[in-house]
């Protein structure tokens, strides 16, 4: 939906960018995705859509205009934030096409009558599809902003997912260790964490940190418990030709990162959302016992049908219960 709150008449350069933004957002909306500003920014960079006049070079202390520089620069990201703000307030962009996945209202659900909740229960009824699997799978992602992509792919397989928001807190890691140890010791299952993070000094180190601290809290290691980094990896970066950023010199892990990978870094946000979706779904598919999964699916479908029957005959159910009271 577009609605004007503050009229805005962009100059030709800004209008051209707004047209690109609108086209990209509409394309992803048709596929069922909403973009974050960071994700939109990398789509614009990857397609070379920022004006050639907006090239910059990092001097080590600041970004300076440079005709031979890069378009993947902080001044362009800040310009995009300004453009998106003015365009949405001015009625030039659809409000639903850009999302903030880290700030959302939490509220209780409501129903108009008891029949509605039975209908909701039937639609939302699920059994644990992984209870009888030899291996449990979870998907962890470094950034909460990518939750809408990760959740869609993971939940399609009834797999739990978590936004780590950087390094996982001690409390959350302890809770995860307790949960995963239960799968291993009580359920007799192996566990795989599919991890997605930035390819930068901290993002690479987070894979190690998760592996080490889960081993500490579960007292279990490979092959019973593994952390499998499925993105970002160098082969994906090269295949997708993702735009790079300079390494952050203030990061204590930068020197070792540069020695192994060079001075370029890449953000997970730069990956195309449908490509990330496919990557996660395929990684899960490689770990599932499909026959066991299908058996659980058949049971779930049958039990949902029972709830549907209750919903479809709700008036008769109410009459029956009233007759019991008489």
Whole-angstrom distance, CA of residue 262 vs CA of residue 181: 37
Residue with tokens 């639903």: 96
Side-chain half-sphere exposure of 43, counting CA atoms within 13 A:
22
Which tokens hold the place of 210? 């998760």
Report CA torsion sign: 207, 140, 236, 254: negative
Which tokens hold the place of 125? 């009824």
Summarised one tens digit per residue, pLDDT across range 160-175 is: 999 999 999 999 999 9
Whole-angstrom distance, CA of residue 27 vs CA of residue 58: 32
pLDDT of residue 109: 77
* 226 CB-contact burial (10 Å; exposed 0-12 / middle 13-18 / buried 19+): middle
Q: Where are the beta strands (DSSP E) in 25-134?
A: 56-58, 63-65
Residue 268 per-residue DSSP state? G
User: Which CA distances in Å does 283 have to 157, 159, 193, 223?
Assistant: 11, 12, 11, 17
pLDDT in tens, the chain (326 residues): 899 999 999 999 999 999 999 999 999 999 999 899 999 999 999 999 999 999 999 988 899 999 999 999 999 999 999 999 999 999 999 999 998 877 767 777 788 888 788 888 888 899 999 999 999 999 999 999 999 999 999 999 999 999 999 999 999 999 999 999 999 998 899 999 999 999 999 999 999 999 999 999 999 988 999 999 999 999 999 999 999 988 877 778 899 999 999 999 999 999 999 999 999 999 999 999 999 999 999 999 999 999 888 888 888 888 888 888 66
Backbone φ and ψ for 70, nearest 5 degrees, come out as: -105, 155
Identify the CA nearest to 2 among candidates 20, 25, 28: 25
Q: What would the DSSP string read from start to end of 112-134?
A: SSHHHHHHHHHHH----TTTT-S
Going along the chain from its start, the domains and CATH numbers come out as: 12-97 (no CATH), 128-292 (3.40.1360.10)
Which tokens hold the place of 268? 């997970």
Answer whether 264's CB lies under 8 Å from 282's CB: no
Looking only at the bridges linking them, the beta strands covering 245-246 and 264-265 are: antiparallel
Is this structure's pTM higher than 0.85? yes
pLDDT of residue 326: 62
């Amino acid at each position: 939906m577009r609605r004007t709150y503050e009229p805005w008449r962009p100059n030709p350069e800004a209008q051209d960018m707004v047209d690109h933004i609108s086209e990209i957002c509409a394309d992803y909306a048709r596929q069922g995705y909403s973009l974050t500003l960071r994700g939109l920014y990398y789509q614009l960079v990857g397609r070379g859509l920022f004006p050639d006049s907006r090239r910059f070079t990092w001097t080590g202390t600041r970004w300076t205009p440079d005709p031979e520089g890069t378009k993947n620069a902080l001044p362009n990201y800040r310009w995009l934030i300004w453009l998106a703000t003015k365009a949405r307030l001015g009625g030039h962009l659809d409000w639903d096409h850009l999302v903030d996945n880290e700030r959302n209202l939490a509220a209780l659900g409501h129903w108009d009558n008891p029949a509605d909740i039975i209908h909701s229960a039937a639609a939302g009824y699920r059994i644990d599809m992984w209870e009888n699997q030899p291996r449990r799978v979870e998907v962890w992602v470094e950034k909460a902003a990518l939750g809408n992509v990760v959740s869609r792919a993971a939940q399609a397989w009834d797999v739990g997912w978590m936004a780590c928001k950087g390094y996982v807190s001690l409390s959350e890691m302890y809770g995860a260790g307790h949960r995963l140890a239960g799968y291993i010791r009580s359920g007799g299952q192996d566990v795989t964490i599919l991890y997605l993070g930035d390819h930068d000094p901290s993002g690479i180190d987070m894979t190690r940190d998760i592996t080490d601290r889960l081993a500490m809290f579960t007292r279990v290691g490979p092959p019973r418990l593994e952390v499998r980094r499925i993105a970002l990896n160098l082969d994906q970066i090269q295949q997708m030709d993702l735009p790079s950023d300079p390494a952050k010199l203030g990061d204590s892990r930068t020197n070792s990162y540069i020695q192994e990978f060079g001075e370029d870094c890449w953000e997970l946000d730069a990956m195309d959302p449908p490509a990330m979706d496919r990557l996660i779904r395929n990684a899960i598919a490689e770990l599932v016992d499909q026959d066991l999964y299908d058996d659980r699916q058949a049971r779930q479908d049958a039990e949902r049908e029972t709830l549907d029957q209750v919903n479809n005959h709700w008036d008769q159910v109410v009459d029956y219960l009233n007759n019991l009271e008489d």
